[in-house]
A = this chain, B = another copy of it.
Amino acid sequence: MTDFDDCLARGSHRFAGEIPGRMIGAPRLRGMPNLILHSDRALPSDPTTRGFAREIYQGIRELPIISMHGHVPVEWFADDTPFSDPAALLVTPDHYLMRMLISQGRTTLSDLGVASVDGDRAPEADPRAIWRRFCENWHLFRGTPTRFWMEHELVEIFGVTQRPSAETSDAIYDRIAAAIADPAFRPRTLMDRFNIEVIGTTDPAWASLEHHRKLAEEGWGERILPTFRPDPVLALDNPSFTHDVLATGLAAGVDVVDYKTYLDALRAQRLRFKAAGALATDHGPNLADTTPMADSDAARLFDAAFNGRPVTAAEARAFNAHMLFQMALMATEDGLVMQIHPGVERGHDRAITATYGPDKGYDIPFAVEYNRALRPMLEAFGHHPNFRTIVFTIDEDVYSRELAPMAGVYPAMRLGAPWWFIDSPEGMRRFRETATETAGFYNTSGFVDDTRAYCSIPARHDLARRIDAGFLARLVAEHRLDIDEAHETARDLAYHLPLLSYAKN
């Protein structure tokens, strides 16, 4: 792919004269600037507002972390194995980071250590080379949340003092490698160092929960909780639907033969999750639709898909909506909090997904309707004392128009924190600006992260606290809130609301 230097070298730069300024990319940096975390980072710059923001942030920065919507593999905690190398810890599990490197056309997923599904493409085997690809492209992350998180991780967790670049790559690699060789860097020990009070893992509907059982036996059952994620067993167009449903039945001890036993298996597995400490279920449907269908129709569609007969895309969508409604119904019985986050086309480039598998950075959001979609569920259970749903979105456009108005009246609904691409400084600021006036602070979930990147969790919570402190500070500076109220609200957003939002059962 063309780079400015190539372009010059090839003579295709047709414009005469000296090139003003410096060129694009890392080599232009003179020397090796220090990497320093300023104590006021991500706080507003206006001096009045910053003063209040600093004060508010100080009151919350050391609060424990509640991390109920995470995707760190439970095995990491169950086995408490050391991390292998800096690239495997920080680059390969982070699809934000990989997608940015890919976007410039000079790097492939193979170059970043991702194995192809069929094993035909040899991934980069040298973690040091992977790490260098990241460091020499550090400038690409300017203005992104990855930059903020990674800086935080490098300085706070690993004691790195140099800005990443081609020149500093090896030294930083060595420093991180040395850190993770230390037994103090095992996943469980980091729980305390990271000040994580409780963390949720995401577990498939058919999970045996053996890892969580082991954790409970070893005294971690109160802090590492499973989360029930049934997407594949609610999607009739899932190619392994029958297999996944049977596996769920097996785990639940229910012999699934039809729609009724399928519901029994789901109900039973939810209870097994709850017994293992789960507080919530997690749903990532394509659309937000929760319209139920007649049981007889649902049974007929289930039978078709379960027995390998064709089901149309429209039927699969309708069944999915029906099953979201059923999940809400079950939630009124078992009290598991229902997290919903629709609106992402997973694996936008199907050839990439076929080659490398899912979750590689090619997931692209689209517009989703919420008003009519959530109506059946909210009309049925929106005032149920035992039901809570937390709705996350990646489409900012719906905050002021649909989600905040609904969360601002239905007792069962909480508005989740800005999700995925908008879990970012500007995204979180806009969220407070667009949602608060209609939903208030107390119909939001407080900060909820969503990541596979374990080491980024403290950075993400720290950033959210800074942004919330900044927003509250502006309200104080504009005499729209008193400072004691701002302090209290900040603590509620950082700690009490995430805790209470998941405490329905």
Interface residue? A489 (CB, 8 A): yes
A13 to B41 Cα, complex, angstroms: 34
Q: Do B491 and A41 have beta carbons less than 8 Å apart?
A: no
Q: Do B400 and A422 have beta carbons less than 8 Å apart?
A: yes
Interface residue? A442 (CB, 8 A): yes
Q: Do A145 and B495 have beta carbons less than 8 Å apart?
A: no
A364 to B413 Cα, complex, angstroms: 14
A321 to B2 Cα, complex, angstroms: 28
A129 to B145 Cα, complex, angstroms: 48
| Chain B residue at smallest Cβ distance from A434 | B426
A15 to B198 Cα, complex, angstroms: 8
Which A134-177 residues have C-beta < 8 A from chain B? 139-145, 147-148, 163
| Chain B residue at smallest Cβ distance from A16 | B222
Q: Do B145 and A500 have beta carbons less than 8 Å apart?
A: no
A332 to B269 Cα, complex, angstroms: 52
Q: Do B402 and A365 have beta carbons less than 8 Å apart?
A: yes
| Chain B residue at smallest Cβ distance from A37 | B479
Interface residue? A497 (CB, 8 A): yes
User: Among A102-110, A241-249, A454-462, which stretch is in contact with chain B?
Assistant: A102-110
Given A22-B488, A48-B45, A408-B100, A142-B500 contact (CB < 8 Å) = no
Question: Which of B350, B437, B499 makes the CB contact (< 8 A) with A426?
Answer: B437
Produce 1/0 per residue, A479-501, CB < 8 A to B: 11110110011011001110110
The complex is assembled from copies of this chain, and their number is 3
| Complex interface: chain B residues within 8 A of A505 (CB) | 12
Given A40-B479, A480-B148, A45-B369 contact (CB < 8 Å) = no
Interface residue? A293 (CB, 8 A): no
Q: Do A350 and B364 have beta carbons less than 8 Å apart?
A: no
A410 to B491 Cα, complex, angstroms: 40
A412 to B100 Cα, complex, angstroms: 13
Q: Do A2 and B440 have beta carbons less than 8 Å apart?
A: no
A329 to B227 Cα, complex, angstroms: 46
How far, in Å, is A13 (CB) from chain B's closest CB? 7
How far, in Å, is A369 (CB) from chain B's closest CB? 7
Q: Do B366 and A371 have beta carbons less than 8 Å apart?
A: yes
Q: Do A401 and B411 have beta carbons less than 8 Å apart?
A: no
Q: Do B350 and A379 have beta carbons less than 8 Å apart?
A: yes
A382 to B103 Cα, complex, angstroms: 10
Q: Do B480 and A41 have beta carbons less than 8 Å apart?
A: yes
Q: Do B411 and A102 have beta carbons less than 8 Å apart?
A: yes
Given A365-B402, A366-B372, A500-B4 contact (CB < 8 Å) = yes
Interface residue? A49 (CB, 8 A): yes
Interface residue? A20 (CB, 8 A): yes
Given A402-B366, A421-B438, A488-B28, A4-B45 contact (CB < 8 Å) = no
| Complex interface: chain B residues within 8 A of A74 (CB) | none
Interface residue? A64 (CB, 8 A): yes
Question: Which of B14, B408, B438, B479 makes the CB contact (< 8 A) with A38?
Answer: B479
A106 to B367 Cα, complex, angstroms: 33
User: Among A200-208, A228-236, A390-398, which stretch is in contact with chain B?
Assistant: A390-398
| Complex interface: chain B residues within 8 A of A147 (CB) | 480
| Complex interface: chain B residues within 8 A of A375 (CB) | 345, 348
Given A47-B48, A479-B38, A140-B442 contact (CB < 8 Å) = yes
Interface residue? A436 (CB, 8 A): yes
User: Among A183-191, A294-302, A306-314, A470-478, which stretch is in contact with chain B?
Assistant: A470-478
Given A28-B488, A503-B2, A477-B379 contact (CB < 8 Å) = no
Given A477-B45, A479-B38, A496-B21, A437-B421 contact (CB < 8 Å) = yes
| Complex interface: chain B residues within 8 A of A148 (CB) | 480
A348 to B379 Cα, complex, angstroms: 8
What are the 3 closest A-B residue pairs judged by CB atoms, nearest first? A105-B411, A45-B477, A21-B491
Taking beta carbons and an 8 Å cutoff, which residues of A are in contact with B? 1-4, 7, 12-17, 19-24, 28-30, 33, 38, 40-49, 59-60, 62-64, 99-100, 102-105, 139-145, 147-148, 163, 197-198, 222-223, 277, 345, 348-351, 361-367, 369, 371-372, 375, 378-379, 382-383, 385, 394-397, 400-402, 404-412, 421-422, 424-427, 430, 432-434, 436-443, 474-475, 477-482, 484-485, 488-489, 491-492, 495-497, 499-500, 503-505
Q: Beyond A42-B480, A348-B379, list 9 extra A-B contacts (CB 8 Å).
A: A2-B504, A20-B62, A21-B496, A33-B484, A41-B480, A103-B407, A103-B439, A396-B401, A397-B401
Question: Would you list 13 pairs from A and B whose C-beta atoms are within 8 A, ordered by A residue?
Answer: A20-B64, A20-B495, A41-B479, A102-B409, A105-B412, A148-B480, A345-B372, A364-B402, A365-B371, A367-B369, A404-B421, A424-B438, A425-B480
